[in-house]
Amino acid sequence: MKNKGTRFERDLIAQLWKEGFAAIRVAGSGVSPFPCPDIVAGNGKLFLAIEVKMRSNLPLYLSEDEIRQLEMFSESFGAKPYIALKLPRKKWKFFTIQMLEKTEKSFKVDEELYHHGLDIEEVAERTIQKRLGEKV
């Protein structure tokens, strides 16, 4: 599963480069004693801290600790925190922490919320799409 995750992270990095961002995978993400996301990217004006998730189906659950660490890193680094989610045969979708649905013990992205996810162009601030019932 780790190799599959690495492949998806590299795919996202390639897409970020196409959008004009320098992007790298963070060595030790998930095992470091310090908060660190899976990918860090920037274009000189906008900096991103991205936690990468891939699932065969929804919902996606994220622990409070994962979200807290992403927030801590992003705040210290001056980056915008995102969860990037890849479903089979679908484009990447991005979610801000504020977009996530809070559950009793975690955060989640379900089918309904998934459709409100941002596209990579929106994250790169090249386009902004208005959606009905948008949570931002």
Judge whether 29 counts as a catalytic residue: yes
User: How are beta strands 106-109 and 101-102 bridged, if at all?
Assistant: antiparallel
Sequence-distant (≥ 6) Cβ neighbours of residue 120 within 8 angstroms: 15, 16, 19, 91, 92, 94
Q: Which of 48, 55, 43, 28 is nearest to 114 (CA)?
A: 55
- Nearest-angstrom CA–CA distance, 37 and 135: 23
* Active-site option among 29, 32, 63, 76: 29
Q: Which residues are catalytic?
A: 29
